[in-house]
Structure 1
């Protein structure tokens, strides 16, 4: 096991912790759907196991590759489907947009340009949503998505990619800050 594998394992643990926090924040009243958070959490666990597979005498490469494709093609569509959950057509369109390149990658026919187009369309849709609903953390999430999916260098990718996914997860969780304890009616006048 090299130092790069150790660093990659630590990066995946960090991703796992932040995604676990996102999963812990989901409850009945929550606006967040656990799809993106669960995707990143599972990827963090599989990434740790993959880069520590020498210690476990088990090869987790196949599961890790599937998980990597899922983080690339399904995370943003899950987030966007949840954001547009009131409009079933747009929500379904976002989910299908991620399922097509994911299914192609699982079948061994990954089409990089189609995948990048789907990711870019979901990021643009996130920007539109953020502008319409005045969500500053949506802009940060879109920026983190651009960094994670389009600006990750190839050489240290096994360390940088999970850390950028962590940033994406952190920003996405902050998009949904809602105070459920505030009264829903008009506030009483102060004396």
Structure 2
């Protein structure tokens, strides 16, 4: 992480919060990009902008305060448009306040070049988050719920093995499970996720 160069595009309320947290985490560099100029609505959510900044570029007006957060992180501002040449300079790109067309276009570019890509946005009380960390990053969680666990009562030596629990479980066909703290068949503790077929 300390060697990452990060681009945060969009320096409204959410963008500046993300930039602040990334800078405090200690990456190598952060560039904030925004073509927009400070308006009255920005003053209610972007904590580094003041009334004196009205009409000025949001990225350049936020630069000094962001730089002051962590002297070990290089912070710069870009007030021009997002383009391929700019994005290719970074290992991580975060888009905020962006159109769906930009999300698709820049997401495809980043994916094809192995650049970690994050989209974050808020609309009133609703939020949007999308992460593409590359082909090697696999999400096995289907629903975001807390993982279900069960105590194993017995495991057959059949192939495939039959696993029994002594209580009702919430597993369904296709659920992927991992084993831990198994005694007797300790090799189960070290295998990756296994897809279940539920018999009852």
User: What TM-score do the two structures reach when normalised by structure 1?
Assistant: 0.25
Structure of higher RCO (CA pairs closer than 8 Å, 6+ residues apart)? 1
Greater share of residues in strand: 2
Could you state the TM-score of these two structures normalised by the residue count of structure 2? 0.24
